[in-house]
Amino acid sequence: MAETIGILGSGLIGRSWAMLFASAGYKVKLFDIEPKQVQGALKEIESQLKELEKTKLLRGKLSAAQQIALISGTSNLKDCVTGAFLVQECTPEILDIKMKALRDLDAVVQAPTIISSSTSTHMPSVLSKDLKNKERFVVAHPVNPPYYVRLVEIVPAPYT
């Protein structure tokens, strides 16, 4: 059975991470507070993966159909993180939104799950300072979009 990764936020970055992780064979749970956003993201991912396969640009050894089957969506945060070894936060670059998302995540995530943020503007020590699981927090900031560009900055907090 494939290992699971949770993704908070189903915008461009969250969708691209989902595609990248599925291309490597991981099961992906994509979370958004808006159910319509989740459904739209899943449709967009399916469309992109099929087009990539058609143009022979699909990553990984799995077919588009196999990768699509690895990605599911939810509007329930606990469902998103249950069983995940990694949760990638991809919410808008607004500090209050990120802090709320990370607090909500921190309340439901179980050890030894790694909490990672895609932030491009906020220091990991600021984002994680009030988290009870802050020693497992890291910033993994992709050069966007992560599916297409193979470069990610990894930035720990002092206590990571």
Domain definitions of the chain by residue range: 4-156
Q: Do residues 6 and 31 lie in contact, with contact meaning Cβ atoms separated by under 8 Å?
A: yes
When pLDDT is cut at 50, 70 and 90, the band that residue 144 belongs to is: confident
Distances 81 to 55, 60, 64, 102, 135 between C-alpha atoms, Å = 33, 24, 24, 12, 18
> Angle at Cα 73 formed by Cα 157 and Cα 18, nearest 5°?
50
Better-scored residue on pLDDT, 84 or 150: 84
When pLDDT is cut at 50, 70 and 90, the band that residue 62 belongs to is: very high
Q: Is the pLDDT of residue 150 over 90?
A: no
What does the mean pLDDT of the chain come to?
96
When pLDDT is cut at 50, 70 and 90, the band that residue 1 belongs to is: low
The CATH classification of domain 4-156, taken from the options 3.40.50.10320, 3.20.20.110, 3.40.50.720, 2.60.120.260 = 3.40.50.720
Per-residue pLDDT, averaged over 44-70, amounts to 98
